[in-house]
Amino acid sequence: MLRLGVIEAVMYLPTAFLTDLGIVALVLYFITQSKKDIKFPWPKFAVSVPERFLPKIKFGLIFTLFFIAVVVTIELIRNLIVIGRKRLAK
């Protein structure tokens, strides 16, 4: 299995992002150019949410995104510390 170093992984991320974004953009371009009425498969449960639940839903989404950001930051810092220790040990 191919293992990427830190520099290689950082250099790979923009390429992967642009490739994925390009594929999605190409599919959406062809869908919009077909001029057909297309029903997308995503759920429509958010359309029928009563107004009184919107603040709770918004808080839950913000809290979830914040929690994910904190976990990713902690893992990134922890991995950078591990990599730094390995380089110092050499």
What pLDDT shows up at residue 44?
A: 67
Query: Which residues lie below 8 Å from residue 72, measured CB to CB, with a gap of 6+?
Result: none
CA-to-CA distance for 78 and 84, rounded, in angstroms? 10
Q: What are the tens digits of pLDDT across the range 11-69?
A: 777 777 777 778 888 888 888 887 777 776 666 666 677 778 778 878 888 999 999 99
Of the candidates 78, 73, 74, 49, which has an alpha carbon nearest to the alpha carbon of residue 61? 49
CA-to-CA distance for 26 and 44, rounded, in angstroms? 24
What pLDDT shows up at residue 69?
A: 93
What pLDDT shows up at residue 64?
A: 93
What pLDDT shows up at residue 43?
A: 67
CA-to-CA distance for 18 and 67, rounded, in angstroms? 26
Task: Write out the residue range of the structural domain in which residue 82 sits.
Answer: 48-90
Q: Do the domain assignments include residue 43?
A: no
Q: Are residues 1 and 22 in the same domain?
A: yes
User: 6 and 83 in contact (C-beta within 8 Å)?
Assistant: yes
Q: Are residues 52 and 31 in the same domain?
A: no
Q: Do the domain assignments include residue 23?
A: yes
What is the total count of domains within the chain? Answer: 2
